Amino acid sequence: MYELEKIKEAEYFYCQMIKEKDNRDNLKFNLSAFLSSARSVLQYAYKEVKDKNGGPSWYNSQVSNNKALTFFKDKRDINIHTEPVSVKRDIAIHLSETIHIGDPVLMTVKDKEGNVKSQSRSYLQPFKSAVDNKMVEIKYIFEDWVGDEDMFFICQEYLKELKAVVEDGKNRGLLT
C-alpha cells in the first residue's frame, strides 16, 4: 500500500547521497535515511501480505535468496540497533606523463676567420616533461560486500530489486 511512497523516499535519499558524496558526514546521514526508507518498503509489503493466502511464502521467496535485499536488511538493522553504518572511502589518483625528447643539435659559433669560439648542444624539440592527465577517483565501498561494486552501484541495484518485488506483488494481487 505504501511501498511506492517509500521507494520514492529512498530514491530521494539516494540522490542526496550522490549530491553529498564529497561531504562525508552528509553522505553518511543520507545513507542512514536511505537504509531506513528502503527497508520500510519490504516491511510494508510483509505487513500487507502476511495474512493473505500464499503471501508469506511469496515474500520469503522474494527476499531470502536475494543478495542485495538481505545485505541491506542487515545494514539497516546494524545502523538502527548497533552502530551507525560506515563505508570505506578509497581514493585513487591516476597520473599519466608524456615526455618529448628531441634530437640533439651541435651549435657552433665561429669568428670571421672560421675559428670555433663556442659550442653548445641544443635540441630541435626542447625536452618537455609534463603531467598530461591527472584524475582523482573516490570510491565508497561496503567492506563486507562480496564483490567489487561501489556503494552507489549497490544502492542502485537495491532500489531496482525493491521495485521488482513490489511490481511482482502487485501483478500477483498480493500488494495494492
Q: What is the pLDDT of residue 36?
A: 96
DSSP 29-85: HHHHHHHHHHHHHHHHHHHHHTTSTTHHHHHHHHHHT-HHHHHHHHHHHHHHHTS--
pLDDT tens per residue, range 41-72:
999 999 999 999 999 999 999 998 899 999 99
Mean pLDDT taken over the chain:
87
pLDDT computed for residue 146 by the predictor: 87
Percent of the chain with pLDDT over 70: 87
Q: What is the average per-residue pLDDT within 27-39?
A: 96
Read off the pTM. 0.75
Helix, strand, coil abundance in the chain, percent, nearest 5? 50, 25, 25
Digit-coded pLDDT (tens) for 70-80: 999 999 998 99
Q: Is 100 or 163 the better-scoring residue by pLDDT? A: 163
Average pLDDT over residues 144-149: 88
The model's confidence at residue 1, banded by pLDDT at 50, 70 and 90, is: confident
The answer on pLDDT for 172 being more than 70 is: yes
Phi, psi of 40, deg, nearest 5: -60, -30
92: cell is: 585513487
**Residue-wise pLDDT tens digits, 102-143:** 666 677 788 888 888 887 776 555 555 555 566 878 889 898
